[in-house]
Structure 1
Amino acid sequence: MTVVRTDKWIEESGGDPSEICARLSRYFPAASTKEIQRHLTQFGMYISAKQGSALTKKLQTNNAWDISSNEFKLLRSKWNGPSVPVFIFPSDSDNKVLASEFNGKSGLAFADKIFLFISPNNTETEIKAILTHEYNHVCRLNLFPKREEDCTLVDTIILEGLAEVAVAERFGEDSTSSWTSLYSDRQLARFWKDFVYPNRMHRKNSKIHDKVLYGLGRYPHMAGYAVGYYVVRNFLKSTDYHAEDLLSLPSTEIARL
């Protein structure tokens, strides 16, 4: 598989997101169309036919599908990674959090597929960076397989840290997500000690996992993500490795547990 021409899907359906999600049903055999749409919308997919059609035309003008296709081929060769379908959709232009914190882009990766939600405002480098991040997830999920229900907080923060270090190595730290520079190393060391380490073995389906990861309630904003980037960077500083060399290394080893 490769980058799917989802722009043609949107043209053929008039942009109707429910019809688009019905086409995706075969990639989510255990989920209904409504469940698929709810999940993708939660991660940033556009929400109306009018919005989808208008934004798709702009993304076509920006060559979003061609850029992603060329980048995907490069990444597969570089990391010797699996062939998975990449689905590109416009992001929700009315999502203020997505716009202010992530410049209107987001991604979602599974072991066997990738979704990119992109804004017409995103540059070519931004498109390449978000694909790099998500495909890094795919490679790690395939090389270091673990059932989703068995993944712990330390697994998740290392997954996110590895992906963003891969972005930094390819495009520079200026191209990394905003959460990589929210805190000083001193603060991140404290977050690791006070928030992440005590909860490191909580599994993905637990409430505390997401609270620490995203920084909900009393936890600092995006704390888990930021700590993951900090931990992976520190590990790499003490070795001759690059991010791609860590794809199959256990999370506990990278976090020095």
Structure 2
Amino acid sequence: MKVTVAPTDEWLVDSIHKPLELLKKTINGKEDQKSFYQYLMKHGMYKSSHHAEDIYAKMKERKIWERFSLYEKKYKRKWNGPNVPIYLFPVQEKRGMFQASMKKSGVCFKDEIFFFVADQEDAKEYEALFVHEYHHCVRMKLLNKKDSQYTLLDSIIFEGLAEFAVREYCGEKYVASWTKAYEEKQMSLYFEKWIKPNLDVKRSSPLHDYLLLGQKSYPNMLGYAAGYYLVQNYVKQKDRSTTALLGKPSSIFLS
């Protein structure tokens, strides 16, 4: 069976202070390591420091690579998911989209997934992170679209479904804080005012990320929260599970 969790634990021994060297071994980092590293840092990848060394030591102690191998086997079986390389690196604790003091983050491409982690007292947090990102990967495979075809609607449904999966497999406690950021009535107003008129905006447009992440003058994590809101409303009416919804077109969640 193909090993999908890359041995970044071994790579980091010699190259923890040479992140660009590490990225040469990845699919998306083969060509232009510099700009790819800038992109990954936005999503939480570590900067070279003693702090990163400490996190790495803790990751080894907590057997993070073995854990993620188990998650990968478990969810690949459950969801009939793809074999994609998985890379584990220390997190850059000071920033990130998911938590003020960042303990975990990830970024998923259709052909590989990056996870950035720190020591967690509750190991279930690692599984919740894995579920969220690997869910994206499985859904991408099923939707089989070109990057240029994805719209804001697709993006918000990706996020909503991924956190719905976290709730189903890990429990309410592990669902991201942005799922509860807005009352239903408030979310309904925000959706009508900002998200609905822009559902067809393509990923390449700056407006896509402003709305998805709640940047500029938009409410924080607006698109993420809107996606969860749509998925929740759909599930209340239809009572579906993650596996039943994995490959469904984004448009059904508007009904």
Contact in 1 for aligned 2:24/2:30 (Cα 8 Å): no
Native 8 Å contact 2:136 2:162 kept in 1: yes
Q: Structure 2 matches for 1:59-98, cutoff 5 A? A: 59-93=59-93, 95-97=94-96
Q: Which whole-Å deviations, capped at 9, do the CAs of 1:29-55 have from their partners, x for residues lacking one? A: 773111221121121111105333322
The one-letter code of the counterpart of 1:126 is E
Equivalent-residue separation in structure 2 for 1:98 and 1:239 (angstroms): 31
Aligned residue in 2 for 1:164: 163
Separation in 2 of the partners of 1:189 and 1:242?
Answer: 23
Structure 2 CA distance for aligned equivalents of residues 247 and 160 of structure 1: 12
Structure 1 match to 2:245: 246
User: Paired residue for 1:57?
Assistant: 57
Verify the 8 A CA contact 1:107 1:114 in the aligned structure 2.
Answer: yes
Task: Decide whether aligned partners of structure 1 residues 172 and 183 sit closer, same or farther in structure 2, where only a CA change above 3 A counts.
Answer: same
- Scaled by the length of structure 1, the TM-score of the pair is 0.93
| CA deviation map 1:82-120 (0-9, x unaligned) | 111110100013x24568436421110111111100011
Q: Offset at 1:217?
A: 1.8
* Structure 2 partner of 1:2: 4
Q: What count of residue pairs does the alignment treat as equivalent? A: 253
- Give ranges in structure 2 of 5+ residues lacking alignment: none
Residues 155-207 of structure 1: per-residue CA shift (max 9 Å, x gap)? 10001100010000111121011111111111111111111101111101112
CA distance in 1, matches of 2:186, 2:97: 25
The AA in structure 2 aligned to 1:167 is: V
Relative to the length of structure 2, the TM-score reads 0.93
CA distance in 1, matches of 2:16, 2:217: 43
Instruction: Give structure 1 stretches of 5+ with no counterpart.
Output: none
In 1, Cα distance between the equivalents of 2:30 and 2:5? 23
Runs ≥4 in structure 1, deviation > 6 angstroms?
none
- Equivalent in the alignment of 1:48: 48
The letter for the 1-side match of 2:15 is S
Task: Give the whole-Å Cα distance in 1 for the aligned partners of 2:20 and 2:72.
Answer: 27
Structure 1 residues 100 and 154, CA gap change in structure 2 (3 angstroms): closer
State the identity %.
Answer: 35
Q: 2:37: which partner in 1?
A: 37
**Greater shift after overlay, 129-138 or 114-123?**
114-123
Question: Which residue, 11, 14, 29 being the options, matches 1:12?
Answer: 14
